[in-house]
Amino acid sequence: MQRVLLTVEEVAEALQVGRCTVYDLLRSGQLESIKIGRLRRVRPEALAAFTERMAQEQSA
Number of domains in the chain: 1
Q: Which pLDDT tens digit goes with each residue over 17-40?
A: 999 999 999 999 999 999 999 999
In terms of residue numbers, what domain contains 48?
Answer: 8-59
How far is residue 16's CA from residue 60's CA, in Å, rounded to a whole number?
A: 23
How far is residue 47's CA from residue 31's CA, in Å, rounded to a whole number?
A: 7
**pLDDT value, residue 24:** 98
Q: What is the mean pLDDT of the chain?
A: 95
DSSP per-residue letters across 11-55: HHHHHT--HHHHHHHHHHTSS--EEETTEEEB-HHHHHHHHHHHH
- 3, part of any domain: no
How far is residue 30's CA from residue 47's CA, in Å, rounded to a whole number?
A: 10
| pTM to 2 decimal places | 0.90
- 40, part of any domain: yes
**pLDDT value, residue 25:** 98
**pLDDT value, residue 60:** 77
- 31, part of any domain: yes
